[in-house]
Structure 1
Amino acid sequence: MSQFTLLGRRRFAPFFWTQALGAFNDSAFRNAMVMLAAVQMGLPDREVSLYTNLAPALFILPYFLFSATAGQLAEKFEKTRIIRYVKLFEIAAMALAAWGFHTHNLPLLLGVLFMMGVHSTVFGPIKYAILPQALKPTELVGGNGMVEMGTQLAILIGMVAGNSLMLLAGIGPWAAAAATLTVAAVGYACSRAIPPAPATAPHLVFNPNPVTETVRVLGITRADRAVFNAVLGISWFWFFGTMLTAQLPLFARHNLGGDGSVLTLVLTLFSLGTGVGSLLCERMSGKRVEIGLVPLGAFGLTAFGVDLYLARPGTAAQMGLHWQAFLAAAGSWRIVLDLTLIGVFAGFYVVPLFAFVQARTPRDRLSRVIAGNNILNALFIVVASVAGLALSRAGLGSAQIFLVAALLNVLVAVYIFTLVPEFLMRFITWVLVNTLYRVRVDGMRHLPEEGPALLVCNHVSFMDPLLLMANLRRPARFVMYYRIFNIPLLKFVFRTAKAIPIAGQKEDPAVLAAAYEAIDAALADGEVVCIFPEGGLTRDGAIATFRPGVEKILARRPVPVVPMALRGLWGSVWSRRDSAMGRSRLPRRFRARVELVVDVPILPEQATASALEMRVRELRGDLA
């Protein structure tokens, strides 16, 4: 099922249009206000510069002041009701904006801009916390991709609309006022159709002090290292994006030699690219939260950011080009490709991070973690603005600042992936599995969404743990033969995934005892553990007798057992079919079509080794 089908579901569509219309109004109002000052009122460049630099600061200030409070509200109260209050607040703000446009009252419009910042601050924690409540786990990546795509396009269309409406001769202010007020009203009407989203922490004690609550929210955000580093990754995305978009007007004018239409083209390419990348995440991740796409996104941001600098490092030979003349000029399509692909890889980078935060954070803390994310995002945006200004004052041009941002991206990515090797490990796993196999998964809905579980599966190839790791929607601790665990190329992946090495009683009793202790500790912590009860790879394609170790595990820690079966792996890369037939060449079935079948959980008291073996045989069927 395509992610676009979500637009036909009441649990998603009204929310999608509500948030998209809000993003449109933010963008349309800000751009209309700037055009009012610069064109309609004809203010001097110095005053226009004051307003254009003050506007972003006023919009982002509420994120520092009220994000922590907004996170509390989203946890303690029903979310849909808050959304409707927020949209009514937006209507009031746009009514004030209409009067400000009519009277050319810029101080009033700056006040409205602050109000729109409050609107976005309160809506932010709800925006991402409501998705896990409304969507199935397999829809989470697609839903986030749709929201990111909708936001990018809404901002782009709002920018064009705000500029164009304010420039209408004689009626510009009225047209801009009517449009933003109408959109706010339509947004409220859409919010009326959003289904209820119950409070996730109704007994939360509300803290009215924004300072102490901000400290507490940031502490909650830092509690899970992987989540916190995902938040840092999202904040870095805003830093990178702020540095890029802040330089685009000058880059379009000086390096590309374009007029205003070229700037619109450049912003359109970046926005469309981000939307396309966001939508592609679902297909590339197989509808799972696949953080392996994050390193791929980071690589693309750097590669095409550097190439953008190399494509046009100096001043253009011609000035004042219309967008059509720009596209006809030599070398322009390389720049078009760079800008578009920077957007595409930005989507690969940020969508999985948001989905990861949503999937990994407990529901009763998610809104506050999103609030902490918004605070850090705002901080990184401010730092990016200051850094961009400092680099400009130091004499660097727009293209050179792109190069600095792209190279900084390498350092930040290495830092984050070093702190949380899971990101890089998932990337390696994703590349290996999608290079070697074409995988079909059936029955993943049977995997418990939370709590401990023991997974049992047949063992066909050395790649089985990686294949399962890439397709299970929950992190799993794999119990594997210690010689496989120590394979040089894959040892980093297995160690990072916290795999548990095991040996036979006669080989190494100490390793065996340590394995049982580690399995029990993982299950006690509510983790998922996966074992291969055959005790080794199949040598003839058939399923061997399951060993009694599974019963020892369950006797000590009774947990649900989920039978699984791998189909079609016999004869694929790194199975033993060729060696069993006396051949020494590489297996022939590269890019093999394989299947993973997941069955309903079995109660621990019914999960004997023989019963599990029989069930796995039935699941696998004749397709070895």
Structure 2
Amino acid sequence: MSREGERSMGTGTMHDGANDSLTRPPLFRDGSFWGLTATQFLGAFNDNVFKQQLLLLFVAVPTATGSMDLQGVATIAFSIPFVLFSGFAGYLSDRYSKRRVIVLSKVAEIVVMAAGVLGFIAFGFAGLPAWLILYLMIVLFAMGGQSAFFGPGKYGILPELFRKRDLPPANSLILMTTFMAVIFGSALAGLLMDVLDDRLWIGGLLTVAIAAVGTWTSLAIRKTPVAAPELRFSADCVAIPSDVRQAMRDDRQLTRALIATSLFWTGAALVQLIVNTVGKNQLGLEDRHTSLMVTGISIGIAIGGALGAPLLGHGVNLRASMMAGWAVVVTLVAISFPGSELTHWLGFRGMFVALTVLGAFTSIFSIPLQVLMQARPPEALKGRVIATQNLLNWVGICGAGLIYQAADSVLAKYELPPSWNFLAVAAILSVMLLVFFPKFERQSGPVITGSLDPLVAEKLRRSRNRRKPKETGDPPTA
């Protein structure tokens, strides 16, 4: 890569001009795109095989007085590392090569999957005693930690690898393949639960092998210049860095997108837990069929990801995103109503179709917000902004675990079917769409190109230099 190309990548003024086209290959002829896509696919597959197996185990944990649903606790265990480490992970992704962070994270995945195999071996001999539940929660915590360090580098490297015009299709295709991995991983988890029974360690060996292959594919990602080589570690790196807080104050659109995405992931995490409970406890399905309902969501997300590029174009189509968000709310309300005798009026097949539709709208909703958060920050802040996004998303997901445990207890006390929990998700998403969703920009209608990077960067520079008085007439960046 030429020095001029490197300078443009480091100053936050990257654009789709001649230099950008010359220094970066077309998306589908870029080996780094396929290496990153394969790495993400394999990692998502492993995460969902392991996590869905544990969630199914925890739907009804035997107790002295009956059984207890520990899915919410497991979700909290998996989420806490993102809350604790996302800020530091963002610092690492800006201070060092994002490729290096990605590769080392994949090596850590091999170790975590091996620890999971040991837990499944113990399950085959001892069942699910309290000490093993604690051990598996610790493994979930470690898996969340590995993913927390992988996330900022994975998403932050996209603008460094690809032309800006390629970001929407790159996000769409990576999202589509990611949720193909979720489909296969979730489906395989239920099948392994029914077929292997107390020999789940056999499937665990497969996840170790896949983690090793994912480490190999990560090596295909080309090296990129370090975004902020002089960045020093400080206390605020473990939370939201001061520069990112300043960017959020200066760029209201960015702030709204971060909050909206966090609330959306709160709802998304709740939906998976509710579907598992509806499948096993309300519809009386086997593990494989319950997991197939979860894969219905993922199939819809893959379809939405495939449709995202032609439907959304090369900008950030906020109108399409909001319409898709309201479609998600309507679908959730429709599937919340139970049938007679604590069943469900849609049954297994109807729920599968409804959840597939839900997933498609989810994908179309999330792609524009993801592109907005990649395009707007200055280049040197992208990794930390993505880390902040991860932090806020996982605060929401951790909160989803608490909400689920509380709501499940209330419904169980009054002997109400778990499908009513979908109404709580619809309420959360309605608040997000009405209060926190980014505003439409007047000058560009429904499409925002993310061309405000230099403006936000200039505001950040002005904020650090207090010698000149701040102009009170400047409107906030919307």
Q: Deviations over 1:335-355 (max 9, x none)?
A: 444322211111111111010
Q: Deviations over 1:460-515 (max 9, x none)?
A: xxxxxxxxxx5867479xxxxxxxxxxxxxxxxxxxxxxxxxxxxxxxxxxxxxxx
In structure 1, the partner of 2:214 is 187
Match of 2:88 among 69, 74, 79: 69
Structure 1 position 166, deviation (Å)? 5.1
In structure 2, the partner of 1:124 is 151
Is the helix fraction higher in 1 or 2?
2
Q: Does 1:349 align with 2:365?
A: yes
In structure 2, the partner of 1:400 is 420
Does structure 2 conserve the Cα–Cα contact (< 8 Å) formed by 1:282 and 1:288? no
Q: Deviations over 1:138-165 (max 9, x none)?
A: 2111111122222222223222323433
Q: Deviations over 1:292-340 (max 9, x none)?
A: 322112121122222223xx43345879x9x9x843xxxx3xx444322
In structure 1, the partner of 2:465 is none
In structure 2, the partner of 1:227 is 254
In structure 1, the partner of 2:23 is none
Report the 3-state secondary structure (helix = DSSP H, G, I; strand = E; otherwise coil) of the residue aligned with 1:12.
helix
Gaps of 5+ in 2: 1-25, 124-130, 454-472
Q: Deviations over 1:173-224 (max 9, x none)?
A: 44123201100100011011111122111111122x4676446376256232
Report the 3-state secondary structure (helix = DSSP H, G, I; strand = E; otherwise coil) of the residue aligned with 1:422.
coil
C-alpha distance in 2 between matches for 1:413 and 1:92:
40
In structure 2, the partner of 1:236 is 263
Q: Does 1:295 align with 2:322?
A: yes
Report the 3-state secondary structure (helix = DSSP H, G, I; strand = E; otherwise coil) of the residue aligned with 1:11.
helix
Structure 1 position 59, deviation (Å)? 1.5
C-alpha distance in 2 between matches for 1:296 and 1:37:
35
C-alpha distance in 1 between matches for 2:311 and 2:64:
47
Q: Does 1:142 align with 2:158?
A: no
Match of 1:81 among 100, 116, 123: 100
C-alpha distance in 1 between matches for 2:42 and 2:209:
10
Structure 1 position 391, deviation (Å)? 3.3
Q: Aligned ranges for residues 464-479 of structure 1 at < 5 Å?
A: 470=447, 474=451
Which AA in structure 2 matches 1:14? G
Q: Deviations over 1:538-584 (max 9, x none)?
A: xxxxxxxxxxxxxxxxxxxxxxxxxxxxxxxxxxxxxxxxxxxxxxx
Q: Does 1:385 align with 2:401?
A: yes
C-alpha distance in 2 between matches for 1:384 and 1:161:
25
Q: Aligned ranges for residues 307-456 of structure 1 at < 5 Å?
A: 307-309=334-336, 312-315=337-340, 326-327=348-349, 332=350, 335-395=351-411, 397-417=417-437, 420-422=438-440, 429-430=445-446
Report the 3-state secondary structure (helix = DSSP H, G, I; strand = E; otherwise coil) of the residue aligned with 2:316.
coil
Q: Deviations over 1:247-292 (max 9, x none)?
A: 1123335655644444233212211111111221210122323223
Q: Does 1:25 align with 2:43?
A: no
Deviates more, 1:104-113 or 1:55-64: 104-113
Structure 1 position 8, deviation (Å)? 5.2
Question: CA 1:337/1:156 → structure 2, altered by over 3 Å: closer, same or farther?
Answer: closer
Does structure 2 conserve the Cα–Cα contact (< 8 Å) formed by 1:221 and 1:372? no
Determine which structure has more spread, i.e. the larger CA radius of gyration. 1
C-alpha distance in 2 between matches for 1:15 and 1:160:
23
Report the 3-state secondary structure (helix = DSSP H, G, I; strand = E; otherwise coil) of the residue aligned with 2:317.
coil
Which AA in structure 2 matches 1:141? P
Does structure 2 conserve the Cα–Cα contact (< 8 Å) formed by 1:291 and 1:356? no
Gaps of 5+ in 1: 431-469, 477-520, 528-624
C-alpha distance in 2 between matches for 1:422 and 1:349:
15
Instruction: Compute the TM-score of the two structures, normalised by the length of structure 2.
Output: 0.77
Structure 1 position 393, deviation (Å)? 3.5
Does structure 2 conserve the Cα–Cα contact (< 8 Å) formed by 1:29 and 1:162? yes
Does structure 1 conserve the Cα–Cα contact (< 8 Å) formed by 2:58 and 2:69? no
Match of 2:299 among 272, 279, 302: 272
C-alpha distance in 2 between matches for 1:226 and 1:301:
22
Does structure 2 conserve the Cα–Cα contact (< 8 Å) formed by 1:68 and 1:217? no
Structure 1 position 43, deviation (Å)? 5.8
Structure 1 position 365, deviation (Å)? 0.5
- Aligned residues with identical type, % of pairs: 27
Q: Which has the higher contact order (CA 8 A, sep 6+)?
A: 2
Does structure 2 conserve the Cα–Cα contact (< 8 Å) formed by 1:296 and 1:348? no
C-alpha distance in 2 between matches for 1:191 and 1:365:
23
Question: CA 1:340/1:214 → structure 2, altered by over 3 Å: closer, same or farther?
Answer: same
Report the 3-state secondary structure (helix = DSSP H, G, I; strand = E; otherwise coil) of the residue aligned with 1:292.
helix
Report the 3-state secondary structure (helix = DSSP H, G, I; strand = E; otherwise coil) of the residue aligned with 2:32.
coil
Which AA in structure 1 matches 2:232? V
Report the 3-state secondary structure (helix = DSSP H, G, I; strand = E; otherwise coil) of the residue aligned with 2:338.
coil
Question: CA 1:190/1:283 → structure 2, altered by over 3 Å: closer, same or farther?
Answer: same
Which AA in structure 2 matches 1:365? L
Question: CA 1:167/1:340 → structure 2, altered by over 3 Å: closer, same or farther?
Answer: closer
C-alpha distance in 1 between matches for 2:289 and 2:57:
21
Q: Aligned ranges for residues 203-222 of structure 1 at < 5 Å?
A: 203-207=230-234, 209=235, 213-214=239-240, 216=242, 219-220=245-246, 222=248
C-alpha distance in 1 between matches for 2:424 and 2:246:
33
Question: CA 1:268/1:99 → structure 2, altered by over 3 Å: closer, same or farther?
Answer: closer
In structure 1, the partner of 2:19 is none
Does structure 2 conserve the Cα–Cα contact (< 8 Å) formed by 1:31 and 1:159? yes
Report the 3-state secondary structure (helix = DSSP H, G, I; strand = E; otherwise coil) of the residue aligned with 2:440.
helix
Instruction: Compute the TM-score of the two structures, normalised by the length of structure 1.
Output: 0.60
C-alpha distance in 2 between matches for 1:297 and 1:315:
31
Which AA in structure 1 matches 2:432? V
Question: CA 1:290/1:189 → structure 2, altered by over 3 Å: closer, same or farther?
Answer: same
Structure 1 position 168, deviation (Å)? 4.2
C-alpha distance in 2 between matches for 1:46 and 1:73:
48
Which AA in structure 1 matches 2:404? G
Q: Count residues in correspondence.
A: 419
